[in-house]
Structure 1
Amino acid sequence: MRVAFAGTPEFAAVALQALLDARFEVPLVLSQPDRPAGRGMKLQASPVKQLAVAHGLTVVQPRSLRLDGKFPDEAQAGRDALLNARPDVLVVAAYGLILPKWVLDLPRLGCLNIHGSILPRWRGAAPIHRAIEAGDAETGITIMQMDEGLDTGDMLLIERLPIAAADTTATLHDKLAALGGRMIVEALELAACGGFRPVKQPEAGVTYAHKIEKAESQIRWSDDATQIARRLRAFDPFPGGVAQLDGEPLKVWRADVVQADGMRGEPGRVLAVSHDGPVVACGNGSVRLTELQRAGGKRLPAAAFLQARPLQVGELLG
């Protein structure tokens, strides 16, 4: 089976490696163009491109695949590459570009998407983040037959995964990436013998995982303590949580909900300080900040942070 692949970040690179380990023929890889990254803002290839190049695979990086869009020459180059690759199927994982109908229709077996949720919950760009933020008990991977809608295609394989109480987006991402890699190999083996039984997505329970915006990192101390703690786990490793201390940004990476009878105060007010971290009042309840980072500094456990910058009871975090 000739398997073309479209993906960009590490989540997708794990799936591509799984296909290569399973000895599928990969005649073409599509990935987003190189982007500036790091302190020097030098152009950097995506994890998928880096892996593909290391294995000697053909890579194309159009900014669009819409033949009538802003970059028709690049779209045409992508079309030519796909036609020359003659794929039986196109596997898509966190690619980042909308696939027009001509792409969906080109492979004999269509396009299969590795989606990081149990559809139809959390269609869209940030299913891992939003599942943690919402306090979901479980998530998983859906292998989906792509259509022209936003994650609306028929479901081919589903596997569920519990969300642990300490899971961040980083840890849950790694679990789901490994699961997605295993499942796409299973899906292609089923496809080879006609073993799919497509299932329509239910109309009930549709939610959308909107893209994470940097502005969401601002901690609203008036929110419920449980919601603040969940949001911090959801926003690790990006964009983190941001408060204000002495007029400067203070990154908060981790917080635990505290059952503190009798301790109440204005949201953002430091109620107690110990080796384990400062306890800060919220709109409902309080949280203990256990991992922090000052501007220009490193992520530190609370004890190490407090040695460098002690916090006092009564201080107010903006």
Structure 2
Amino acid sequence: MKRLVFMGTPDFSVPILEKLMLTEYEIVLVVTQPDRPKGRKKIVTPPPVKKTAEKYEIPVLQPEKLNDEYKKILAYKPDIIITAAYGQILPKELLETPEFGCINVHASLLPELRGGAPIHYAILQGKQKTGITLMYMAEKLDAGDIIVQQSVKIAAADHVGTLHDKLSETGALLLADTLPEIFAQNITPESQDESLATFAFNIKRDQERIDWQNPHDVIYNHIRGMHPWPVAFTTYDGGQMKIWWGEMDNHTYKGSPGEIVDIVDNEAFVVVCGNQKGLRITEVQPAGKKRMTVSQYLQGSPDRIKTGIVLGD
């Protein structure tokens, strides 16, 4: 029986680990990030993959730095190491020791969108498809040889959350289907074309801010490319307002970018964008409050949202 070490951390990794549990292979160790403080109360919380591993009574290792503890992983004598959104670069010794190598499940069609936020960037860039790549890991970021790929369509209403789930499930199925071919050595990997490489580095705080000078379709992609995390925001009334959801409005409006030009049935407000088209905002989170519909916000604060107000700096 082949011995697998699985390395992953967030929710994306969980369906992949659970699918591996249904295969004929033995998962001898799960490696994940250390427990971290979460939320406003900074409660130390284990990563989702750790919770799953413990449910199946699989040994768990949580090194702060792999370079300090990689020998503990090799002590389990893995035939293959599989990673999925683990969160650290693997040292050369880990890459080279397993007989069948180290395989990564990456959420893009490489060489597009290398890096830690490929799902966000696929939507931010308005792509109509993305996918899963299984690749042999290399020392360079997401640059290893491609084993197999599978495309996934991006619907116009998809956001990071829905696309995340589609890709995670696709990755789990693709990996389970491909592992027998890897072990049978029936795979002919293909090198990536470096000239086509693009990058999807982790989202920074300033990227969450909406620029109302952009066209309405770009801003719509921005909102769904930040939903449900980390969430797009704009400035309003001396503070910040998170914009959880909105819809494109293809009417042409007079007004400055960021200006509220209409209140629609007390359920949404329309903001003018840089191309003079509108964005109909339906869910918000004012500073210091919980996420709510615009209807709920208007009921509680009927005088706060009016036409003529300009959002943004």
TM-score under structure 2 length normalisation: 0.94
The counterpart of 2:292, out of the listed 293, 300, 303, is: 300
Output the CA distance in 2 between the equivalents of 1:41 and 1:192: 43
State the partner residue of 2:166. 175
Residue 273 (str. 1) matches residue 267 (str. 2): no
Give CA deviations for 1:100-134 in whole Å, capped at 9, x if unaligned: 11110111111000000001110111100001000
Q: Residue 227 of structure 1: CA displacement?
A: 0.9
State the partner residue of 1:69. none
Output the CA distance in 2 between the equivalents of 1:136 and 1:39: 34
Output the CA distance in 2 between the equivalents of 1:312 and 1:243: 16
Q: Residue 196 of structure 1: CA displacement?
A: 1.1
Q: Give the counterpart letter for 1:119 in structure 2.
A: L
The number of equivalent residue pairs is: 307
State the partner residue of 2:308. 314
State the partner residue of 1:264. 254
State the partner residue of 1:290. 282
Structure 2 counterparts to residues 169-208 of structure 1, below 5 A: 169-208=160-199
The counterpart of 1:122, out of the listed 107, 113, 122, is: 113
Give CA deviations for 1:155-213 in whole Å, capped at 9, x if unaligned: 11110011000010011000000011111111212122222121111234211011101
Q: Which runs of 4+ in 1 moved over 4 A?
A: none
The alignment-based identity, stated in percent, is 38
Output the CA distance in 2 between the equivalents of 1:245 and 1:307: 18
Note if contact 2:74-2:94 (Cα within 8 Å) is conserved in structure 1: no
Q: Residue 298 of structure 1: CA displacement?
A: 2.6
Output the CA distance in 2 between the equivalents of 1:289 and 1:267: 14
User: In structure 2, the residue corresponding to 1:259 is in which secondary structure?
Assistant: strand
The counterpart of 2:128, out of the listed 119, 137, 141, is: 137
State the partner residue of 1:71. none
Unaligned runs of 5+ in 1: 67-74
Q: Give the counterpart letter for 1:151 in structure 2.
A: D
Give CA deviations for 1:9-62 in whole Å, capped at 9, x if unaligned: 011121111101224201111101110012321211100111111111111111
Structure 1 stretch displaced more, 209-218 or 119-128: 209-218
Question: Over aligned residues, Cα RMSD in angstroms?
Answer: 1.3
Structure 1 stretch displaced more, 210-219 or 130-139: 210-219
Q: Residue 299 of structure 1: CA displacement?
A: 2.1
State the partner residue of 1:2. 3
Note if contact 1:121-1:205 (Cα within 8 Å) is conserved in structure 2: yes
Output the CA distance in 1 between the equivalents of 2:148 and 2:288: 45
Output the CA distance in 1 between the equivalents of 2:58 and 2:106: 24
State the partner residue of 1:72. none
Note if contact 2:100-2:183 (Cα within 8 Å) is conserved in structure 1: no
Residue 164 (str. 1) matches residue 165 (str. 2): no
TM-score under structure 1 length normalisation: 0.93
Output the CA distance in 2 between the equivalents of 1:191 and 1:220: 46
